Amino acid sequence: MSPKHSILFAYTALTIVACQSPADISGVITGAEQKGSKIYLLEPENLQDLGAPYFAKVIDSATIKDDGSFEFRNMPLSTTERLLELAVQPKGKAPNYLETEAQESVNYMPIVWQTGEPLKISAEWETFQKTFQILNSSKANTALLNLRDLKYEAYQNHLAGKEWQVEDGSELLEKEHAILEYQTELMNFADTTEHFLPALMALRWVSPENDYERVPEFLVRQCAKWSQTQAEHDWTKELCKASDAANLPVLIGDVFPDATLPTLTKDTLQLREHIGSKLTIIDLWASWCAPCRKENREVLVPLWDTYHDDGLKIIAYALESHAATWQAASKLDGADRWLQVSDLQGDNADFLKHIRVQTIPANFILDENGVVIAKNLHGEALKGLLEEHFK
């Protein structure tokens, strides 16, 4: 090849490289120990798949090079924002396995993708989600990064390093309260953000197990919010189906449903006829439930003694199968001084299905009209509500 032709060839090659469009998604992952480790691009096909191990569809993969670099090209065209997930995996690991338990080593990060907006990212292998960054991030991706930071901070504040004695149930309520405080920070984010997909990511991080029995009002709020701007999105439709009242426990603001229930004295009562003149606590408990028994003795008995002459009523529904066990536990705890009811059908009782509750301890606090004003308050929180109300 002549010198003239060599120069022309080099110039042409340089021009091709220079004109090549940037990769759709590219970046550097530092600290990958195994040669040939991969990063996968995943797409959750429905709301429940979001943030769930093994369910998202694999749409592309890239080998992480020796210098940590990778890139994805030829992304699927999308004129609207789509929520995808990037996950790093060593050899032999399922492409769509997501680590969701160990917060420090979560191996995936959600991203918002839209055609024409290349993403340049960086992260460390061992702490992929925690260290994940996007250069010149869009507003939606910035919201996701802020949500990620909020999640880690909330975890450190409420759950990290905590241990509760739950085998005997003695600290079950304390653990549940800490989880609720963690969830509340994520729910506040979803309730206040203007970004749809980050809000749904927060929703899924509130309960990766898809269990919203303790926070059903959150689902209702999210359905109402996004139905205004994202009504035709499939995930909004899923969300609103899940938030249908028929699928949720009785909500705050609802009138508590009436029921005919057998009493400890073998009579029956019409629940509606026994609503207190000021407040009524509908308490769900069982003789085998350690935190329920503790709540009876340490919280409900003192509250009853203090306020029942002023208009407090307690109606306790027991998840029991044997009347003798129920009676003995009630008497031992001092809980026989208020109304005790049960169908003696254990946790398969029609009443529980009627109010759509599966988890105890649980309670509903009703006003004088039978409207639920609070629920699942225990210990000091329940004492504080009654003190304020009767003041």
- Give 211's Cβ-side CA count (13 Å radius): 7
Closest C-alpha to 108, from 91, 81, 90, 87: 87
pLDDT of residue 385: 96
* Contacts with 129 (C-beta within 8 Å, 6 or more apart), sequence order: 106, 107, 108, 109, 123, 148
Question: Which residue is it, tokens 């839209």?
Answer: 114
Cα dihedral sign, 136-140-141-146 = positive
pLDDT of residue 11: 47
Work out the average pLDDT over 239-257.
Answer: 95
Work out the average pLDDT over 137-156.
Answer: 97
Contact 188, 199 (CB under 8 A): no
Report the share of the chain in percent with pLDDT over 90. Answer: 81
Q: In angstroms, rounded to a whole number, what is the distance separating the alpha carbons of residues 213 and 183? A: 13
Work out the average pLDDT over 328-334.
Answer: 96
pLDDT of residue 16: 42
Choice between 8 and 149, residue whose per-residue pLDDT is larger: 149
pLDDT at 124 over 70: yes
Q: In angstroms, rounded to a whole number, what is the distance separating the alpha carbons of residues 318 and 315? A: 10
Length of the chain in terms of residues written: 391
pLDDT at 19 over 90: no
Contact 346, 321 (CB under 8 A): yes
Contact 235, 181 (CB under 8 A): no
Peptide bond into 361 cis (omega under 30): yes
pLDDT at 14 over 70: no
Work out the average pLDDT over 246-251.
Answer: 94
Work out the average pLDDT over 37-45.
Answer: 95
Report the share of the chain in percent with pLDDT over 70. Answer: 94
pLDDT at 170 over 70: no
pLDDT at 47 over 70: yes
pLDDT of residue 20: 59
14 alpha carbon, distance to own chain's centre: 51
Domains of the chain: 21-136 (2.60.40), 157-247 (no CATH), 260-390 (3.40.30.10)
> Confidence class of residue 161 from pLDDT cuts 50, 70 and 90?
confident
> Confidence class of residue 172 from pLDDT cuts 50, 70 and 90?
confident
Work out the average pLDDT over 157-165.
Answer: 89
Please provide the DSSP assignment of 318-374 as one string: E--S-HHHHHHHHHHHTGGGSEEE--S-GGG-HHHHHHT--SSSEEEEE-TTSBEEE
Q: Mean pLDDT of all residues in the chain?
A: 91
Cα dihedral sign, 72-77-81-85 = negative
> Confidence class of residue 7 from pLDDT cuts 50, 70 and 90?
very low
Starting from the edge strand earliest in sequence, which strands make up the sheet with 339-341, in order?
339-341, 312-318, 279-285, 362-366, 372-375
pLDDT of residue 13: 43
pLDDT at 17 over 60: no
> Confidence class of residue 9 from pLDDT cuts 50, 70 and 90?
very low
pLDDT of residue 119: 94
pLDDT at 286 over 50: yes
> Confidence class of residue 1 from pLDDT cuts 50, 70 and 90?
low
* Contacts with 103 (C-beta within 8 Å, 6 or more apart), sequence order: 130, 152, 155, 160
Q: How many other C-beta atoms are found inside a 10 Å radius of the C-beta of residue 15? A: 10
Going by the DSSP 8-state scheme, the letter that residue 300 receives in this structure is I
